[in-house]
Amino acid sequence: MKIESARYIGCATDLESCPHSNLPEFAFVGRSNVGKSSLVNMLADVKGLAKTSGTPGKTKLINFFRINDRWTLVDLPGYGFAKVSRVKQSEFNESVSGYLNGRENLKQVFALLDSQLEPLDTDLAFIDWLQQCGIPYSIILTKTDRSADSKVINHEDQLIRALEDYGLNPNEIFKCSAKTKRGRGAVLNWVEGQLPKATKKKGKSIQLGWMKK
């Protein structure tokens, strides 16, 4: 998929305040500081489209970005150790779960996991929740440029075993790096495969009636 346009179209605090849209939506979510905003910018190929920060929990709203006027990329607030109060964390989680369960045009969730770490219980619990809710999902291992390939492969193998142990079945597992753009084509091509086929505009028909005169 070639990205021809990517623009911010709005944000929301909960499901009710989400902008109206009939376009397919693909949501990205993960623990705080997993590299989600950097990944969003890499996929859209627009620096600064999603705000990045070294402070966990920077994304506090549900953010919507229209891509090629064909689909919407949704940047969800992170879960985990965001530096906010427990009350605020609870509000974030309620907003995210409300969107994930109630948004009718949501087609796929990409659950982001840090490839530098062994599978975490919080991530596995969230993935388990997605599956129990019947929400289609894939997994993206982020920050693959920060570790040796052998370490990334080892953590991926551990993840696959953990998924099998819990009976979890993601559609795909992608390995990505916002810095090197590894995995960009694979993710975008997968998204494109889920989109309705674009209809070709029909040209005007040639009138041949004059030939009968």
pLDDT tens, position by position, 54-99 = 444 445 789 999 999 999 999 998 876 445 455 555 555 777 889 9
Q: Are 106 and 27 in contact (CB under 8 A)?
A: yes
Does 209 fall in a domain?
Answer: no
Task: Please name the residue that has the structure tokens 């796929």.
Answer: 108
pLDDT tens-digit map of 34-45:
999 899 999 999
User: Binning pLDDT at 50, 70 and 90, where does residue 200 land?
Assistant: low
Domain range for 10:
6-194
For residue 119, the one-letter residue type is P
Does 200 fall in a domain?
Answer: no
Lowest mean pLDDT among 40-49, 100-109, 159-168, 177-186: 40-49
Does 1 fall in a domain?
Answer: no
Number of domains in the chain: 1
Q: What is the pTM of this model?
A: 0.85
Does 84 fall in a domain?
Answer: yes
CATH of the domain at 152: 3.40.50.300
Question: What does the DSSP assignment read for 51-76?
Answer: ---SSTT---SEEEEEETTTEEEEEP
Q: Are 29 and 79 in contact (CB under 8 A)?
A: yes
Query: Is a pLDDT exceeding 80 seen at residue 181?
Result: yes
For residue 143, the one-letter residue type is K
Residues 141-146: what's their mean pLDDT? Answer: 97
Does 138 fall in a domain?
Answer: yes
Does 131 fall in a domain?
Answer: yes
Q: Are 100 and 26 in contact (CB under 8 A)?
A: no
Mean pLDDT (the chain) is 86
- Distance of alpha carbon 90 from its chain centroid, rounded? 21
Does 199 fall in a domain?
Answer: no
Q: Are 41 and 47 in contact (CB under 8 A)?
A: yes
Does 54 fall in a domain?
Answer: yes
End-to-end Cα distance, the chain: 49
